[in-house]
Amino acid sequence: MEQRVLILAPFGRDAEVIAEVLQKDERLCKLCRDANALAEALDHGAGAALIAEEAFAGEQAARLFTWLDNQPAWSDFPFILLAASRIGHRSAHGLETLERLGNVVVLERPLNSETLRRAVASSLRARARQYESRRHLAARIEAQDALEQLNDSLESRIAERTHELASTNNRLMMEIHERAKVQAVLVQSQKMEALGQLTGGIAHDFNNLLNVIMVNAELIARSSGDERVRGMAATVKRATERGAKLTGQLLTFSRNSNLDLKAVDVVTLLQGMRDIITVSLGSTIRYTTEFDTDEMWTQADANQLELAILNLAINARDAMPNGGQLCICVRERNAPDQTFEAGRYVVVEVADTGSGVPPEVVSRVFDPFFTTKPIGKGTGLGLSQVYGIARQAGGTARLFSEEGVGTIVEIWLPLRERLAPQAQKSSNEEAQAIGEKRVLVVEDDGEVRAMLVESLKMLGYTVTEAADGRAGLDRLQDDKPDLLMVDFAMPGMNGIDVITEARKLRADLPVILATGYADVDISELAVERCTILRKPFQLDDLARTIRLGLTS
């Protein structure tokens, strides 16, 4: 009974989970339904009690506090309190509870199993010493020498116990502090992930809308003989291209853009950017670089990485209107904490001596559309795009800033061995229809489907259509198309599902997979004779892709 661990966690499965963790150390655990049951169990003996803070709501703990007030002089029963999640400081009621519990260690949730096991072990050891003291006190019908010896050693034992408890508490507080830092980083990462999913979905819907506008503008321009109408159509097309660039930035942030990841020497890349960065900064800013070694390789999209670094340089320039210094350093470092995959990283540090970022907004700088610049001076997508580019390359971006001192932005990219870049393949295929060919279009968005059908007819193809995957498969036998064009994101059956079923009916059928989600990569789908067409596309892109699909 003296080694029992009493557990009071009345909500959910917390009590059962805690008991399972402690039973790995062969602890004898007793689960208590409420504070009264806990007090009753204390009457029969225990080594420690582990209590969830929410169990003290209302007057539930009155009997427990009565038991504590009446415990004998030798007893200082140890408690482990599982703190409730909260924002801000503990309430006055919570502080009073801690005071009345007395010998208590506070553990913040979520719990680390090792921390929990050590805290329980320490509490049981302390309680065991109390029971030992009780036995010594009970044996004083014994010789006076034994009593004097006990008195002589009592102070040293108390000092040892106090020192041990203080050391344990210090270790626990350090672990709690370390866990809190990691938790904060994880929360930020989860927030960015949620924002990424939201912006990716929005960008996909916008790509569909932009595609309808873009291609119809081209169709109007091609079919109209009125130069004024054709000029207006060209204006519409240019506007949609700007919109496509904006959705591309959103997709980069959300990690839904399919970057051209290749071996890149970051040192060589930065050396090649010296002229453009110097021109962008102007004459009032001194620009320097520092490299740990002559070569540091990673796998990234070189164009996108250049864009990210240039964005950071321009941000730094804007933060130094009266001049200053910009230094870009490339370092090789180990993963700094558990939020990174273990290994070595190439770190690009962009450090300026500008005005800095207010501390209250540092955690938001990578959010899309968030900007500290005046209205009309920025879209708020520059830093979010930097973050997205780094994440898609397997790394991340971090920002450190102090107002009036400057800002450092770090791009962390996994270190890679030097790889020879793959040769680029090009095709000069003409974008005209090949004879009398039939195309079956499967697209759930009615306006996009109508645009595709009209465009393909103008290009000289015979076109049939279906509004969903199942309808498309039903038409496959009767329409006998030479090529299947299917949208990726559709309710019920998505594009990959349709392709899989279609290949069971016609194994050699060439397929074009259209998508507004730029992260679809057919190299990972193991689908033969399948070409990706990314939205929004132009009429020439459509024509070229159809021709290549038919000749592949």
- pLDDT single digits (tens) 523-536: 444 456 788 888 77
Average pLDDT by consecutive 10-residue portion of the chain (552 residues)? 88 89 91 89 91 78 87 90 73 82 87 88 90 77 67 78 84 79 63 62 71 81 81 80 65 53 89 84 92 91 81 88 94 86 92 88 68 50 75 86 91 83 41 72 90 89 93 91 91 89 90 72 57 83 88 76
**Contact predicate 488/496, CB 8 Å:** yes
Supply the pLDDT for residue 447.
86
| Angstrom distances, CA of residue 308 to CA of 157, 325, 389, 391, 503 | 62, 19, 7, 12, 41
Full strand arrangement of the beta sheet holding 29-31 = 29-31, 5-8, 48-52, 79-83, 104-108
**Contact predicate 210/244, CB 8 Å:** yes
Domain covering 438-551: architecture? 3-Layer(aba) Sandwich (3.40)
* Helix, strand, coil percentages, rounded to 5, for the chain: 50, 20, 30
Question: Among candidates 506, 484, 314, 342, which has minimal Cα distance to 409?
Answer: 314
CATH of region 262-414: 3.30.565.10
Nearest 5°: the CA angle 376, 382, 388 is 150
The total of other beta-carbon atoms located within 10 Å of residue 494's CB is: 17
Report the alpha-carbon distance of residue 97 to residue 77 in Å, rounded.
15
CATH of region 5-141: 3.40.50.2300
Which residues on adjacent β-strands are paired with residue 346?
332, 413
Tally helices (H) and strands (E) across the chain. Answer: 15, 17
How many residues can be counted in the chain? 552
Secondary structure of 376-394 in HEC code, one letter for each residue: CCCCCCHHHHHHHHHHHCC
**Contact predicate 240/193, CB 8 Å:** no
Report the alpha-carbon distance of residue 75 to residue 549 in Å, rounded.
83
Helix (H, G, I), strand (E, B) or coil at 258: coil
**Contact predicate 491/468, CB 8 Å:** yes
CA 320 to chain CA centroid, Å, is 31
String of DSSP letters for 404-419: TTEEEEEEEEEB----
For the whole prediction, is pTM greater than 0.75?
no
Q: What is the pLDDT of residues 135-191, one digit of tens each?
A: 877 766 765 666 677 777 777 778 888 888 888 888 888 888 777 766 765 665 666
Long-range CB contact pairs, 421-424, < 8 A, 24+ = 421/262, 421/263, 422/262
Full strand arrangement of the beta sheet holding 396-402 = 285-291, 324-334, 344-352, 406-414, 396-402
